[in-house]
């Protein structure tokens, strides 16, 4: 099926089934373009919950679909590929986390949104990369914070807030493997470029950044900074939206390091890129795979999400 025909079929299915399509910034361009909303995971779930759509088709990874289900329990949430996981989520299994927490006196478990619904269910609150600093600053001082699962984000936040935390040692395979050598090379070749980075990157990379923030914060910086050339230290899917915001801008993606040297394609998240237009069509047509959450953990997981809003409002 040609792309143009596929787009038309998807839009017809969406209308007929009263569905809404969400796409994360790290999706392929055509998925971003067909989506009703493009953005960060939590923001997308919040927007979907405020619509009258009966079906949410979430082009992202499975934990994002789980959050959408937590915020919209009455809606059906489907994903193009149920195997679209996350290395951070995979690194932190709930049975191992329980043991990790047991060694901490008076713990407060703060789970980055890139975690499974099972981890969220035993957490006191979740956070996003944009909300984490404020939440940490509002956690009672007598609590010992356990931050999971991203060690680089945790270390960055520990430095920003001055709050000591027991940090889980998980990593994002995309942000962990950007080439420092390539960043330096790009800076030397483009002295007028600003480096924008996601805090999931190691400190060895963040030290070169002119701006560190979530994907939506990076886009806001690009729009308002007054600069026109950027070295991008996050998944390059963000560049599609950056070009819409700043058509005259120049965006330079950073290569990743793999076993054979450097690789431009390796900077794309292999999980996010499992989603395709064909799979989106199939999931809307068949209304599967669907996200189902065990009723025994649903309330606790939803409470962790709601607690994030509580700490943000303090």
What's the pLDDT tens digit per position in 186-228?
999 999 999 999 999 999 999 999 999 999 999 999 999 999 9
Band of the pLDDT at 18, cuts 50, 70, 90? very high
Q: Where are the alpha helices (DSSP H) in the chain?
A: 3-16, 29-34, 41-49, 62-71, 87-91, 94-102, 117-121, 132-138, 151-161, 173-176, 180-189, 203-206, 215-224, 238-245, 277-286, 295-313
Which of 116, 26, 14, 8 is closest to 57 using CA atoms?
Answer: 14
Q: Where are the alpha helices (DSSP H) in 214-276?
A: 215-224, 238-245
Task: Please compute the mean of the pLDDT values over residues 72-82 and round it to a whole number.
Answer: 98
Can you give the pLDDT at residue 219?
A: 98
Unique residue bearing structure tokens 């915001």: 245
Band of the pLDDT at 3, cuts 50, 70, 90? confident
The whole-angstrom separation of Cα 180 and Cα 205 is: 6
Burial status of residue 81 (CB atoms within 10 A of its CB: 0-12, 13-18, 19 or more): buried
**Complete domains list, the chain, with CATH:** 1-84+273-286 (3.40.50.10800), 87-170+296-313 (3.40.50.10800), 180-268 (3.40.50.10800)
Can you give the pLDDT at residue 259?
A: 59
Return the sign of the alpha-carbon dihedral for residues 265, 206, 175, 127.
Answer: negative
Examine the pLDDT at 1 and tell me if it is beyond 60.
no
Task: Please compute the mean of the pLDDT values over residues 126-140 and round it to a whole number.
Answer: 97
Give 244-291 pLDDT, tens digit per residue: 999 999 999 999 987 566 666 679 999 999 999 999 999 999 999 999
Average pLDDT score, the chain: 96
Can you give the pLDDT at residue 257?
A: 86
**Residues counted in the chain:** 314
**Residue 182 contacts by C-beta under 8 Å, 6 or more apart in sequence?**
254, 255, 262
Q: Are 304 and 66 in contact, with CB atoms under 8 Å apart?
A: no
Helix or strand or coil: residue 176? helix
Give 41-50 pLDDT, tens digit per residue: 999 999 999 9
> What value, to the nearest 5°, has the Cα angle with vertex 108 and ends 103 and 110?
110
pTM, entire model: 0.95
Band of the pLDDT at 314, cuts 50, 70, 90? confident
| 122-127 contacts, C-beta under 8 A, 24 or more apart | 122/94, 122/97, 122/98, 122/300, 123/148, 123/304, 124/304, 124/307, 125/304, 125/307, 125/308, 125/310, 125/311, 126/304, 126/305, 126/307, 126/308, 127/308
* Residue 125 or residue 1, greater confidence: 125
Give 222-248 pLDDT, tens digit per residue: 999 999 999 999 999 999 999 999 999
The alpha carbon torsion through 214, 218, 219, 223 (nearest 10 deg) reads: 150
The whole-angstrom separation of Cα 84 and Cα 62 is: 6
* Residue 209 or residue 1, greater confidence: 209
Can you give the pLDDT at residue 266?
A: 76
Q: Are 145 and 163 in contact, with CB atoms under 8 Å apart?
A: yes
Q: What is the CA radius of gyration of the chain?
A: 19
Can you give the pLDDT at residue 4?
A: 80
**Residue 289 contacts by C-beta under 8 Å, 6 or more apart in sequence?**
78, 79, 81, 82, 283
Task: Please compute the mean of the pLDDT values over residues 146-174 and round it to a whole number.
Answer: 98
Band of the pLDDT at 53, cuts 50, 70, 90? very high
Give 167-187 pLDDT, tens digit per residue: 999 999 999 999 999 999 999
The whole-angstrom separation of Cα 161 and Cα 158 is: 5
Can you give the pLDDT at residue 265?
A: 67
Can you give the pLDDT at residue 260?
A: 63
Q: Are 56 and 72 in contact, with CB atoms under 8 Å apart?
A: yes
């Amino acid at each position: 099926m040609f792309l143009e025909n596929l787009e038309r079929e998807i839009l017809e299915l969406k209308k007929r089934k009263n569905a809404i399509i969400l796409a994360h910034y790290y999706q392929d361009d055509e998925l971003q373009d067909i989506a009703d909303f493009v953005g960060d995971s939590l923001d997308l779930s919040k927007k979907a919950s405020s619509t009258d759509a009966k079906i949410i088709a979430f082009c992202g990874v499975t934990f994002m679909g789980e959050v959408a289900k937590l915020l919209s329990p009455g809606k059906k949430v489907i994903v193009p590929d149920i195997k679209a996981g996350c290395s951070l989520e995979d690194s932190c299994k709930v049975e191992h986390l329980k043991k990790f927490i047991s060694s901490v006196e008076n713990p407060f478990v703060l789970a980055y949104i890139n975690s499974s619904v099972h981890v969220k269910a035993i957490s006191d609150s979740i956070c996003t990369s944009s909300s984490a600093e404020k939440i940490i600053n509002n956690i009672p001082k007598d609590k010992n914070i356990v931050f999971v699962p991203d060690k680089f984000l945790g270390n960055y936040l520990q430095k920003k807030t001055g709050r000591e935390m027991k940090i889980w040692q998980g990593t994002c395979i995309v942000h962990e493997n950007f080439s420092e050598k390539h960043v330096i090379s790009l800076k030397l070749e483009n002295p007028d470029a600003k480096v924008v980075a996601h805090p999931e990157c190691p400190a060895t990379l963040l030290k070169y950044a002119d701006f560190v923030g979530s994907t939506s914060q990076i886009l806001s910086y690009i729009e308002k900074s007054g600069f026109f050339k950027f070295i991008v230290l996050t998944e390059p899917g963000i560049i599609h939206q950056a070009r819409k915001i700043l058509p005259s801008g120049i965006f330079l993606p950073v290569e990743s390091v793999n076993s054979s040297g450097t690789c431009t394609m390796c900077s794309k998240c292999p999980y996010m890129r499992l989603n395709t237009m064909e799979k989106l069509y199939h999931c809307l047509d068949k209304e599967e795979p669907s996200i189902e959450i065990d009723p025994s953990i649903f309330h606790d997981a939803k409470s962790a999400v709601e607690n994030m809003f509580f700490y943000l409002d303090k």
